[in-house]
Amino acid sequence: MTSDDLQGRAVRASDVAFSISDATAPDHPLIWVNPAFTALTGYTPEQVLGRNCRLLQGPATDPATAAEMRDAVDTGKTVATVVLNYRRDGTPFWNQVVISPVIGRDGTITHHVGVQADVTARVEADHARDSDLSSQRQATARLDLLARVTDEMVAHLDYAAAVDSLADIAVPALATWGYVAVTDDRGRFEHVHVVASDHSRSAAAAFLESHGVEWLRRSPRMAEALASQPGFVPAPYAIDVAALPERSTDTQLGALQALGLGSALVVPLRARDRVIGVMCLVHEEVGGFSPDVVVTAAHLGRRAGLALDNVRLFLAARDAALTLQHSLLPDIPDVPGLDIAAAYIASTRLAEVGGDWFDVLQLPDGSVGLAVGDVVGHDMHAAAAMGQLRSLLRSTAWDCTEPATALARVDAMVRGIPIADIATCAYVRWETSGTGATLTYARAGHPPPLLRLPGGEVVPLDDAATTPLGIADPAGHATSGKVTIPAGATLVLFTDGLIERRDRGLREGIAGLVATLSAQPDDLDATGVRDALIDALLTGDRQEDDVCVLVVRAHHESSSSRAVSGPSGPRSIRSSSR
């Protein structure tokens, strides 16, 4: 048996399909195939010999892969690839092909040898795995988007800002451009935010947002989404460009065209009992939305609608709470000879109402009562208890000349009548004399008031301390403390929200307050001292606790009487009197 005969018999007996084509003949025809080729493709030798092997290609064969094999054959290179081929009966299969040139004695290519194997099972398993991974990535991306939108929306204490954040995050992730439009209780559009994914179109988006809502009011798709019932399934549609001139002004139409008009997807924003608006996603191409985008948008619409409704309900509760808080806190009276400034700053938690309070009393003997207190809690109960305590202290201070006695009577009433669980209070009587003033004070579990003397020394009024109101003190109540202060001294009463933080202990906070107070100029008026303390000690957007500050100093004729307003928004109440 010769070596060539053995090799030929081995190739004929192999389960691997072999073929040989003539590289010297036009179109490289097949000149030999083994039985495994017939078993793989269904073609007998008589049906394929003299023809190019491309007869195995079909309608779904990748043109790029076919071109890769053709270029390798033309340039004399070996090529190995996987291509979708078709058997004689038309069934497709994934074919792993290796085509190698055969070199003759003169160094030229005389033939090409093809080796082929059916790898359909492996390729389909790879495709299934890739499809599963793609689905998992899409699901993860969808959840990430939903989480980002929800987290950003609930972080805002302003309804319009929450609406804007929804559009700012969702539109670039899902569409060419789009908008979120919300309605009021009468179904009228009250806020619209338009966003373009391409920053070069931002001017058109801003123009459309600020130049009327005719294009929204007249849209039948908007009306359909706003009137939709639970279970409504949004579907993308081709935009009826021809109908837009009837529903928009010329300038609005120009902005719409600049943004791109292909297909749209309108998703209702459903709250608990009604639709409060729409999120519209627009793609500049017809059919530009994939099924995954449609599913993501539907999930987002349901979640965003509830989040916006939560923001709306929170703001309504906050407005009610702040109305109550405003009604309970006093206006500072005009006290002759005294420069007084106060501030109440609510926390950003819950409904922004709590038990911190201040009061200024003009007493019958000519002295002035100054009080700051704190009822434990941040809810309506704490605010109501604060109002009751303030009234109790007012009535007892009217009759009692000693602050310790006044606080003792309030404590007895708090324990006898269930008003509040725990409350703290600092109470000072300011009596003006010709050379200065005398302060008589007591405090029930409250941080000590601070007295700044001319020159910058700060003295804590830390005597006359007892337990918080509402807690029985077996040792009895302390007597009042007393101190004489010179002209130009400044008294600061405050609640612990001014000095205490999660990242700052009480002692560290008091040290910071003392340093800030000491650094103020001697001639700074009460309003200036109040604002300096607040600006230095309250930093960041989120205020963890309520804050009350009451600043008092003897009035100087040379003091400036500048008007100082509080910060924007309803979170703070600042007032002053000279």
Tell me the three-class secondary structure of 247-272, residue by residue.
HCCHHHHHHHHHHCCCEEEEEEEECC
- Domain boundary among the residues 319, 351, 366 is at 319
Do 172 and 236 lie in one domain? The reply is yes
Question: Is 252 inside a domain boundary?
Answer: yes
Range of the domain at 297: 139-319
Band (pLDDT 50/70/90 cuts) for residue 361 is very high
- Do 183 and 259 lie in one domain? The reply is yes
pLDDT at 141: 67
User: Do residue 314 and residue 461 come from a single domain?
Assistant: no
Q: What is the DSSP letter of 501?
A: B
Are 569 and 480 in a shared domain? yes
Percent of the chain past pLDDT 70, that is, above it, reads 85
Same domain flag for 398 and 433? yes
* Inside any domain, residue 130: no
**Best-predicted range by mean pLDDT (156-165, 193-202, 306-315):** 193-202
Find the Cα–Cα–Cα–Cα dihedral 44, 47, 49, 52, rounded to 10°: -110
How many alpha carbons fall within 13 Å on the CB side of residue 429? 26
Among 113, 100, 118, 108, residue whose Cα is nearest residue 56 = 118
State whether residue 294 is helix, strand or coil.
helix
Q: In whole angstroms, give the CA distance from residue 425 to residue 105.
A: 109
Q: What CATH number should be reported for the domain holding residue 69?
A: 3.30.450.20
Is there a single domain that holds both residue 13 and residue 144?
no
- pLDDT: which is higher, 146 or 400: 400
Structure confidence at residue 533 (pLDDT):
94
**Domain at 473, CATH number:** 3.60.40.10
> How far apart, in whole angstroms, are the C-alpha atoms of residue 451 and residue 511?
14
Number of other residues whose CB lies within 10 A of the CB of residue 260: 20
pLDDT tens profile 509-531? 899 999 999 999 999 999 999 99
Do residues 84 and 183 both lie within one domain?
Answer: no
Number of domains in the chain: 3
Q: Is residue 126 part of a domain?
A: no
The confidence score (pLDDT) of residue 568 equals: 32
- Whether residue 264 is found in the same domain as residue 355: no
Q: Which of 292, 319, 346 is the last residue of a domain?
A: 319
Q: How many CB atoms lie within 10 A of CB 503?
A: 5
pLDDT band at residue 561 using 50, 70 and 90 as cut-offs: very low
| Backbone region of residue 423 per phi and psi (left: phi > 0; alpha: psi in -120 to 50; beta: other values) | beta
Pair of tokens at residue 102:
């055969």
CATH number at 178 reads: 3.30.450.40
**Residue pLDDT, tens place only, 27-69:** 999 999 999 999 999 999 999 999 999 999 999 999 999 999 9
- Cβ distance 57 to 46 under 8 Å? no
**CA angle, residues 199, 293, 203, in degrees to nearest 5:** 15
Distance between terminal CA atoms of the chain? 124
